[in-house]
Chain A
Amino acid sequence: MFLEVDALSKRFGGLVAVAAISLQIEEGEIVGILGPNGSGKTTLLNLLAGLLTPSSGTILWQGRDISGTKPDLIAALGIVKTFQNPQLFAELSVLEHVMIAGHLALKRLLGFARSKTIFAPKSARQELEARAERVLRLCRLSEGAQRPAAALSYGEEKMLGVAMAMMCEPKLLLLDEPASGLGQAEITNLGAVLRDLREHGTTLCIIDHKVAFLAEFAHRLIALQNGNKIADGTAQEVLGNQSVISAYLGRQHVGA
């Protein structure tokens, strides 16, 4: 099994943010996670990425228990997460961002000869620059790659987050609301990027509120409510599920 989560819980004081959730993700799959605000979606991804330590339960990644492992090691093992609110290195340029994110790729290129990084071997640098260029082009950030990241629009900031994650060459990419706050053209572009990732065999796990957006990409949907998994299956199954409708979609229909 690629990723196997068993009875994973996270408590913050008296609040149970994630309550004994179990789920599996197969290699190459695209899984969408939906649920109302506060249902534990982001907490779940933060647990998978190592940003939070689980209160109980296990996370098996390619047969290895990674619960409680530090985020940098988890990233090195191939699970990378983007942030809902773009996280950047404020004063650095767009290109510098993706080059920093190329750190893991550089490690893989040089292996044990990592001490060479001080003298930056030309071949490795060129290889990484070529990758950075490809990723930036795909994310439509190659124009003005020298701009400071502070000059980017909100949508571009979010795409830069995706670009950095792509530079890490993840096996499993966790996207936390990648489409929120994006304009229609930007969402189309994001779709192109996700399709490219899918073609390259990257497994994706996407949180989003836009059910239509999720249904378009995901092979499978998982619905959460109050930290519990209430449905898991194809888009049709999940969106037709009575508890999902009442917990989430139903309320939206009433509100609309």
Chain B
Amino acid sequence: MSAAWLLIPLYLVPLVSHNEVLLTILIFTYILGILAIGFNIVFGYAGQLTMFHGAAFGIGGYATFLILSKLGISFWLAMLPMFALVLILSMLVGWVCFKFRLREFYFAVVTLAFAELIRLVVLNWNDVTNGTLGLLVLDKPTIWWPGGGVIKIDGTVPWYLMTLTALGAVTVASQLIVRSWIGRNFAAIRLNEELAQTLGINTFRYKMLAFTISNLFAALAGALFGFYSNYIEPAQLSITQSLDAIAMVLLGGMGSILGPVVGAFLLTGLPHVIEFSAELRAATYGAILILVILLMPRGVVGLFSRWRHVS
């Protein structure tokens, strides 16, 4: 069954509940779910431990807003040059890493270095990015609605529906990719790169593809995040952003289509459920994560699919 169908009932949530906290948690779940799905493609399927998705997430927010405000074009139009920028950056970083055949830890460290480089540029380019203070985003995406003309997407319910739709589109796209020959080749690279090469798979090209797709998804999530939270700051492209997405994928279940979304939901919702002081909350959060990784190596989704097999 197609995993994207599982998302359809979620369109009914705003009809059933008007709870702002719940809907907000779900909006952040959907946005961060897109980021986590992207990381899952490059890590869970193609086996490349990137640390660049946090940077792509941040660039998504910054570039979309800066292009939009400098050129005075709409959110959706501004995303196109932003995607082009992320595409070029991904190709550059990917080319360096994969040409030099960096793997595992080395790949992680080098992509992290590139991500830090970009963060430092954003942090110090005061004229454009406003440095540590970040940027206040007052614009909202608009859409053309039959009968209503061009309307602004503002307020919790419209954002809920839009982010859920974006998540649905990303889920369908990632499903098409991983179930195709491209996905098979990703798995081959993850499991035995040398063998994959001798069977004629251009591993360089496929690793570049996985890395780029992951970064484009991350950039989409970053743009949505910035415009929903009305604020873009350098912390959005920090290592923490990358690590959060990794935690979501590990918690939810690596290499399954919706696992990352389940992980995003748990890690977004958990801090609201556990009402401790900030420090204690971070510690609890960390402890839960460590336990999950030790006890459920295939994540929450893996646990359930095992039950299904047994019964």
Residues of A at the B interface (CB closer than 8 Å) are 49, 51, 70-73, 75-76, 80-81, 83, 87-92, 96, 99-101, 103-104, 106-107, 117-120, 164-165, 167-168
Contacts and interface: CB of A to CB of B under 8 A. Distances in A.
B42 to A, nearest CB: 17
B277 interface: no
Nearest to A149: B191
Interface residues of B, number: 23
A100 B199 contact: yes
A89 B192 contact: yes
11 contacts: A71-B197, A72-B197, A72-B199, A73-B202, A81-B198, A87-B195, A90-B191, A100-B187, A100-B188, A118-B181, A168-B200
Contacts of B177: 118
Interface of B: 176-177, 179-182, 184-185, 187-188, 191-192, 194-204
Given A88-B192, A91-B191, A100-B188, A120 B180 contact: yes
A56 to B, nearest CB: 23
Given A117-B180, A120-B180, A76 B192 contact: no
A118 B180 contact: yes
Nearest to B191: A89
Given A81-B198, A168-B200, A119 B191 contact: no
Given A89-B187, A117-B180, A164 B192 contact: no
Contact of A49 (B179, B188, B198): B198
A112 B202 CA distance: 16
Contacts of B185: 100, 103
A52 to B, nearest CB: 12
Contacts of B188: 89, 100
A119 B176 contact: yes
Contacts of A70: 197, 202, 204
Given A92-B187, A103-B200, A164-B199, A87 B194 contact: yes
A89 B195 contact: yes
A75 B200 contact: yes
Nearest to B196: A100
B191 A96 contact: no
A107 B202 CA distance: 12
A80 B198 contact: yes
A122 B267 CA distance: 40
Contacts of A73: 202
A104 B184 contact: no
B207 to A, nearest CB: 12
A96 B184 contact: yes
B199 A75 contact: yes
Contacts of A87: 192, 194-195, 198
A165 B196 CA distance: 11
A120 B182 CA distance: 10
Nearest to B190: A89
Which of B176, B192, B195, B198 gathers most chain A CB within 10 Å? B198
